[in-house]
Amino acid sequence: MLMDEILQGESATVEFKEQLPEKSSKYMKTVVAFANGRGGRIYFGVRDVDHAVVGVAPGNLFRTMDAITTAIADSCEPTIFPDVSAMNIEGKQVIVVDIQAGRQRPYYLKSQGMMHGVYVRVSGTTRPADRNYIEELMLEDSHRYYDQLPADYEITASDIENLCNSLYKTAVENADRKSSSVDIRRINANTLLSWGVLAERSGKLVPTNAFSLLTGHYNLPCKVQCGVFRGSSRALLVGRQEFQGPIQKQVQDVYEYVLTKCGLRTEIRGLYRYDSYEFPKESLREAIVNAVVHRSYLEHSDITVFLYDDRLEITSPGGLLQTVTIERIKEGYSKVRNRALTDAFIYMNLIDQYGSGIPRILEEFRQEGLVEPQFVDMGADFRVIFKRRHIFDTNDTDDANTDTKGETINDTNATEDSIDEKICEIMQQDNEVTVNRLAERLHTSRSTVLRSIKRLKNNGLVQRIGDNRNGKWQVVNVKY
């Protein structure tokens, strides 16, 4: 078993040292990094370059093992107690130092102090931790959450009421989207207080970081950067957009933006039209929700959503938390980074239940015969990769009547009735379709679509439920 681990090389939990260094500082940073992470193992007597077992220099083996134990206990704060053992591997003596994941993080080198002596493991390297990472370690081990910490500004009773109404509206809209019959309850300041969206200080309600994120108050990093690239690298940017505001609104805006940039196949089966996107729509929404809710808001970088010719990448700041691994999240394991936001998103019907998102994504991709998504823990970031399914042949797009992307409407030849009819049909299939998406589907101008919608409204055939950003279409009188 140990030999199998050696052959796999250095990783987030494995480090090789060819010989025992004269100065313990050569390996002490890795000891601290393992304790701050998921634990790990250091092999003394294994060469890093080719993973060859060379063994440690002959001498008093047990005295050397005692010296390692003492050096670790004396050099680290809080105290780390390693499990040091000797193994005979391929006829050579190898010293194995096991470090357990710590429960009193952050651990640091006494000689450097907490501000400079905290180290973390990223893939197969040991790196100094920055101030934000140190703060997150302290919060996690004290069972506190950054989104529940008080923010430095004042709010009024009207601000609280407005947020409650906004969250309720979003909850109702998402219940409708899921055809849920659940009765959505109204919430109030006490609800927000129980979630940690509000805090109480000296008998007064104050906003927390979660309140800022849910209302779009710009004292925190909370933007999503979207980009479309030609090819499989970032060499040629062909489109970009930035989304700000309340994070629940960002989820919907980014979701709609990605759909407008993806391929769409329309099939007619009998009397009904069926639209098929490159990715399962609910999986796409789930991945965006996860990026927004589970990112580290201590980090000052933005979420990025990049669409390449061959894949979609959604990257969120903050790697996986302690005890969380790729294998475990695929099985439904979850550890909350932002408790207040998680409760709010569950209420808004944007999250079903803890740990269900990733297994549901995997299942939807399996059902549609798509390549399984990739999940990558990058240490400081977490990335989800969807392989693109090109569902239309771009060589067919010159055909004026049977474009596989959708129906082509020529502004100069099409009658008003034909445009109105097509728009009603699309709205019946997708009541969240945007004006831009309608224009793309019909291969016509945005102004033509807006004129058609105005006619349909005036004739009592279509109405808008909700506002322009978050509302839905309802075909109320089917004429066509």
Q: Are residues 349 and 242 in the same domain?
A: yes
CATH code for the domain of 12:
3.30.950.30
Report yes or no on 24 lying in a domain. yes
Helix (H) or strand (E) holding 277: strand 272-277
d(CA 425, CA 442) in angstroms, rounded, equals 12
Tokens 């793309």 — which residue? 440
- Say if CB 336 and CB 196 are below 8 A apart: no
User: What average pLDDT does range 423-445 have in this prediction?
Assistant: 82
**Which pLDDT belongs to residue 295?**
95
- Tally the domains of the chain: 4
**CA-CA distance, 312 to 260, in Å (whole number)?**
13
Asked whether residue 174 is domain-assigned, the answer is yes
Residues 246 and 125 in one domain: no
**2 against 455, higher pLDDT:** 455
Report if residue 160 sits inside a domain.
yes
Residue pair 30/123 in contact (Cβ under 8 Å)? The answer is: no
Token code pair at residue 31: 């000891």
Among 96, 70, 84, 89, CA closest to 14:
96
User: Which residue, of 160, 193, 215, is where some domain finishes?
Assistant: 215
Within 8 A by CB and 6+ apart from 432, the residues are 177, 256, 472, 473
pLDDT band of residue 181 (cuts 50, 70, 90) is: low
CA-based nearest residue to 410, from 361, 459, 377, 443? 443
CA distance readout (Å), 472 to 166, 199, 427, 430, 439: 16, 34, 9, 9, 17
Residue 175 CB burial class (10 angstroms; 0-12, 13-18, ≥19):
middle
Listed in sequence order, the residues at least 6 apart from 126 whose beta carbon sits closer than 8 Å to its beta carbon are 15, 29, 30, 33, 119, 120
What's the CATH number where 432 sits?
Answer: 1.10.10.10
User: What integer pLDDT is reported at residue 193 of this predicted model?
Assistant: 97
Final residue in a domain of this structure, among 347, 371, 387: 387
Instruction: Out of 333, 367, 387, pick the residue that ends a domain.
Output: 387
Examine residue 395 and state whether it is found in any structural domain, yes or no.
no
In a domain, 398, yes or no: no
178 confidence band (pLDDT: 50, 70, 90): low
Same structural domain, 373 and 245: yes
Alpha carbon distances (Å) from 312 to 68, 237, 261, 433, 459: 47, 14, 11, 21, 41
- Nearest to residue 303, comparing CAs of 402, 365, 224? 224
Lowest mean pLDDT among 23-37, 335-349, 397-411, 464-478: 397-411
pLDDT tens string 196-243: 999 999 999 999 999 999 999 867 778 999 999 999 999 999 999 999
Q: What is the pTM of this model?
A: 0.73
Whether residues 160 and 117 fall in one domain = no
On the question of pLDDT at 423 being above 60, the answer is: yes
pLDDT band, residue 409 (cuts 50/70/90): very low
Chain centroid, CA 66 distance in Å: 44
Domain hosting 162: range is 146-215
* Domain presence at residue 402: no
Same domain for 11 and 112, yes or no, is yes
- Could you tell me if 66 and 88 are in contact, meaning their C-beta atoms sit under 8 angstroms apart? no
pLDDT of residue 469: 67
Residue-wise pLDDT tens digits, 146-161: 999 999 999 999 999 9
The pLDDT-based confidence of 82 (bands split at 50, 70, 90) is very high
Residue 394: predicted pLDDT: 35
- The answer on 352 and 245 residing in a single domain is yes
User: What pLDDT score was predicted for residue 323?
Assistant: 79
Under 8 Å between Cβ of 449 and 462: no
Q: Same domain, yes or no, for 48 and 183?
A: no
Assess whether 235 and 376 both reside in one domain: yes
Residue 109 amino acid letter = L
Q: What is the largest CA-CA distance in the chain?
A: 94
Tell whether the model's pLDDT for residue 406 goes beyond 70: no
Peptide bond into 373 cis (omega under 30): no
Nearest to 145 by CA among 72, 240, 210: 210
- Helix (DSSP H) and strand (DSSP E) numbers for the chain: 16, 20
pLDDT of residue 228: 95
Name, in order, each residue with C-beta under 8 angstroms of 330's C-beta and a sequence gap of 6 or more: 358, 359, 362, 375
- What does the pLDDT read at residue 395? 35
Statement to judge: residues 367 and 305 lie in one domain: yes
Q: How far apart are CA 285 and CA 275, in angstroms?
A: 17
Give yes or no: residues 151 and 136 share one domain: no
pLDDT at 271: 65
Q: Is 382 found in the same domain as 234? A: yes
Cα-based distances in Å from 301 to 15, 115, 297, 312, 375: 30, 21, 9, 19, 19
Q: What integer is the mean pLDDT of 322-351?
A: 92
Confidence of residue 325 (pLDDT cuts 50, 70, 90): confident
- Chain mean position to CA 159: 28
**pLDDT band at 397, cuts 50/70/90?**
very low
Tokens describing residue 152: 């430095």
- What average pLDDT does this structure show over 376-390? 90
* pLDDT for res 391: 53
The three-state secondary structure class of 102 is coil
Express each pLDDT in 6-63 by its tens digit.
Answer: 878 888 899 999 988 888 888 999 999 999 988 999 999 999 888 999 998 777 788 8
Residue 394, in any domain of the structure: no
Whether residue 89 is contained in a domain is answered as yes
Give the whole-angstrom CA distance, residue 284 versus residue 99: 38
The model's pLDDT over 114-139, given as tens digits with 9 standing for 90+, comes to 999 999 988 788 999 988 889 988 88
- Judge if 134 and 156 occupy the same domain: no
Which of 102-106, 446-450, 476-480 is the most confident on average? Answer: 102-106
Beta-carbon contacts of 208 under 8 Å, excluding residues fewer than 6 positions away, are 147, 148, 149, 150, 151, 196, 197, 198, 199, 340
CATH of residue 230's domain is 3.30.565.60
First-to-last CA distance in the chain?
Answer: 69
More confident residue, 270 or 225: 225
Please name which of 71, 3, 59 lies closest in space to residue 31, comparing C-alpha atoms. Answer: 71
- The structure tokens listed for 37 are 């992470």
